Amino acid sequence: MNNQDKLFNLLGLAMRARKLATGEELVINEVRNKKCKLVILATDAGPNTTKTVTNKCNSFNVPLVQHGTRYELGYAIGKAERVTIGILDAGFAKSIQTLIRNINEERTYD
């Protein structure tokens, strides 16, 4: 199993464990409430969403990564397309960040 599959499996697991918030408004609320440990933004997010989510994450010091398309992110959590996903658990957030870092490093060496 490659890191991309591991990442999507982990997102699915976090969803089943109810440790995710999805959708721009819900994620921004969780960031404001200091419950979000990490925000994942789809690589094909629109400019307005990207700006809003980036600004909010910067204001509240929440790490933000852009990874996967809206379809990949939605598929990973068993939903329709999702542009914004907030991770509400520190353990999941740490593992997901590590996997994304590994995926990006693999791409660099391909």
Q: What is the pLDDT of residue 110?
A: 65
Q: What is the pLDDT of residues 64-87, one digit of tens each?
A: 999 999 999 999 999 999 999 999
pLDDT higher than 90, residue 1: no
Domains of the chain, by residue range, sit at: 3-109
Phi and psi of 33, rounded to 5°? Answer: -80, 5
Q: Could you give the residue ranges of the DSSP H alpha helices within the chain? A: 3-16, 24-32, 47-59, 70-76, 90-109
H/E element, 39: strand 38-41
Q: What is the pLDDT of residues 7-25, one digit of tens each?
A: 999 999 999 999 999 999 9
| Assigned CATH topology for domain 3-109 | 60s Ribosomal Protein L30; Chain: A; (3.30.1330)
pTM: 0.94
* Contact (CB, 8 A) for 22 and 85: yes
